[in-house]
Amino acid sequence: MILGFADLLRNSEWRVSTGERRIGHSRKRLWANEDEWLDTFREYLCGHPELAEHVARIWFALLEHHDQGPEGVRNARFIINQALRLTYPFTRSYRLA
């Protein structure tokens, strides 16, 4: 099951904006499982190798920032927050708000 954007924001198990997770919840519950990722990637990236390449480069850049210590983590967080802010207007939740 893929949650809607508003559901992700409301569901504390999925809120990772502070980079911390609630005690008692496994890391696996913080994020979609592999099947959910694959379902999303197949739906949107299959047949679009240029887009898949672009998305893979974003993931790679985020990992590179993450490996650069506290400043890199802050940079990665900024990039993710910016992506979230810019993506939200394309969601059903935004249109219903």
The mean per-residue pLDDT over the stretch 62-79 comes to 94
- The C-alpha atoms of residue 66 and residue 39 are separated, in whole angstroms, by 26
| Arithmetic mean of pLDDT over the chain | 78
pLDDT of residue 37: 87
pLDDT in tens, 8-43: 444 434 344 434 444 445 555 667 788 888 998 999
The mean per-residue pLDDT over the stretch 51-80 comes to 94
pLDDT of residue 32: 74
Question: Does the pLDDT value for residue 3 go beyond 70?
Answer: no
- The C-alpha atoms of residue 92 and residue 84 are separated, in whole angstroms, by 14
- Sorted by where each begins, the domain ranges of the chain are 5-96
